[in-house]
Amino acid sequence: MKLDLSPTSWGRVMAVTAAGTAFFIAVAFFVDSFNFPYLSPESVWRAKLTDLLLPLVLGGSFLFFLMWKIRQLAIAQRDLSVIAATDSLTAVLNRGAFSMLVEAYLEQTRKQEETRTGALLIIDADHFKSINDRLGHDCGDQALKLIAQAIKGQLRGTDIVGRIGGEEFGVFLPGVDPSQSWLVAEGIRRRIREMDFSPDGRSCPLSVSIGGTSFSGPTTYEAIFSAADRRLYAAKSNGRDQVSFDPAEAALASPLSAATVH
């Protein structure tokens, strides 16, 4: 089994403690070894015992305490990073973290010779202001949580989802073709449409409009976001509760003509 030496693991704590303690003991024996020829056998035995126990007790305890504190700091930093990157209401990525991860993926694809595909979806809750006005902001928050859960329920482990606006979500689908991307988008739309949202016993159907674009080859986050945002505008202009998907408007190489799918 591979030893976990990550900053937050106990494996690193124990490995550094053991290695450091062994080093201290070796140094103590080396320094004291010059005195061994001049000592009696009984004194040599006591000196060796001291060279073993003193670094073991003092050095080992110090190293263990130091590494334990470093591990706690690493865990705290990791948790803070997660909190800083997460939308507190919906538990998905916030806008900054979402765009940073997508752009990092796209930058890697620009450096590789192999052509990579993918898609970006922008999902907007329909008539969300009316939900807040009629039912209150608490119910609006509940609706956003349900929408976020529905979106995550349709995605793979490699997909990225974030809240990029008040009632807008972004979904990045690496390695999928346009037909797969549209199926994901339509699955999200249907799942949200079929949800039962009845706060305080008052039925309130939810729906979303989804704009999407796919890419094949080098592109940027700004390019695919602009393309998907245009398709979202088309979906909302055509009556909402639908998917408007462009198969390759955002690609920087060999762009295809746009197509809207309802």
Helices (runs of H) and strands (runs of E) counted in the chain: 8, 5
- Sequence length of the chain is 262
Nearest 5°: phi and psi at 121? -115, 140
Cβ neighbour number for residue 44 with a 10 Å cutoff: 16
Query: Are 206 and 181 a contacting pair, CB within 8 Å?
Result: no
Hey, what amino acid is at 249?
A: E
Task: Give the up-direction half-sphere exposure of residue 210: CA atoms within 13 A in the CB hemisphere.
Answer: 30
Q: What are the residues whose beta carbons fall under 8 Å from the beta carbon of 188, sequence distance 6 or more?
A: 121, 123, 150, 151, 154, 171, 208, 210
What CA–CA distances, in Å, run from 108 to 59, 103, 112, 157, 227?
45, 9, 7, 19, 21
Give catalytic status of residue 194 as yes or no. Answer: no
Cβ neighbour number for residue 201 with a 10 Å cutoff: 5
Query: Are 59 and 20 a contacting pair, CB within 8 Å?
Result: yes
**Could you say which of 103, 107, 114, 167 is catalytic?**
167
Strands across the sheet containing 117-125: 160-163, 168-174, 117-125, 208-216, 243-246
Active site positions, annotated: 167
